[in-house]
């Protein structure tokens, strides 16, 4: 049973997260040949002050938009 875990900054819409879950599950089905019901996708959202890059938090790096998603 594949378990796909995604850590990301909070701020995305429910629709964006639903699409991400679908796309990740589809990729697992296609590449691993597993049935949909065997796949688990976990989205773990973090506030910007809990996400560090080097010695600074994302809240410090992006103070003008602390709740916007990471646009990597």
- Residues that are catalytic: 2
Name the phi and psi angles at 7, rounded to 5.
-100, 130
What token pair was written down for 62? 């992006």
Closest by CA position to 25, among listed 48, 46, 4, 52: 4
């Amino acid at each position: 049973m594949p378990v796909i875990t995604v850590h990301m900054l909070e701020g995305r819409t429910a629709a964006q997260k639903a699409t991400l879950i679908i796309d990740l599950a589809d990729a697992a089905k296609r590449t691993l040949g597993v049935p949909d019901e065997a796949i688990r996708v976990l989205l773990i959202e973090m506030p910007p002050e809990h996400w560090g890059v080097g010695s600074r938090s994302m809240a410090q790096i992006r103070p003008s938009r602390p709740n916007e998603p990471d646009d990597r």
